[in-house]
Amino acid sequence: MHVPTFQPLTITVEKREDVTIVHCAGEVDIATAGQLRGEVTDALVDGPGHLVVVLDDVTFLDSLGLGALISAHKRARVLQGSFTIVCTSRPVLRVFTATAMHRVFRVVDTLDEALEPAS
């Protein structure tokens, strides 16, 4: 029997012109959701209102992590910016589908697609 191992959350932030890109890897749960919330809040306070969150390497996302993404989405809209998620992670996509957030968030497969203007 395979026992899953804990993967701590790592976050890197990159700025490209008027877009802030937040790359996440590992697990977003009760222990790490605050870290994600802080990074996306800082990205929207310190930089432009255009935010891309890359979740391809996220292996687990709980309700607190989802809440952090919802808050960032709302804040970007208030700032008249944009919020896009890049995600090919099956566990994360399952959460988005189960909560219908895939209908709220702009979710794309690649960073190049995220950097294109929304249609």
Angle at 31 between CA 28 and CA 32, to 5 degrees: 40
User: Residue 116: inside a domain, yes or no?
Assistant: no
User: Residue 40: inside a domain, yes or no?
Assistant: yes
User: Residue 41: inside a domain, yes or no?
Assistant: yes
Average pLDDT over residues 61-70: 95
User: Residue 64: inside a domain, yes or no?
Assistant: yes
Are 8 and 21 within 8 A, CB to CB?
Answer: no
pLDDT of residue 109: 96
pLDDT of residue 119: 56
pTM of the model: 0.90
Find the domain containing 56 and state its range: 29-79
Q: Number of structural domains, the chain?
A: 1
Question: 14-55, pLDDT tens digit by residue?
Answer: 998 889 999 999 999 999 999 999 999 888 886 667 999 999
Phi and psi of 28, rounded to 5°?
-110, 105
Q: For residue 103, is pLDDT > 60? A: yes
Question: 79-101, pLDDT tens digit by residue?
Answer: 888 999 999 999 999 999 999 99
Q: In what order do the strands lie in the sheet with 82-86?
A: 10-16, 19-28, 50-61, 82-86, 106-108
User: Residue 115: inside a domain, yes or no?
Assistant: no
pLDDT of residue 28: 95
pLDDT of residue 115: 92
pLDDT of residue 35: 94
Q: For residue 7, is pLDDT > 90? A: no
User: Residue 56: inside a domain, yes or no?
Assistant: yes
User: Residue 60: inside a domain, yes or no?
Assistant: yes
User: Residue 42: inside a domain, yes or no?
Assistant: yes
Q: For residue 106, is pLDDT > 80? A: yes
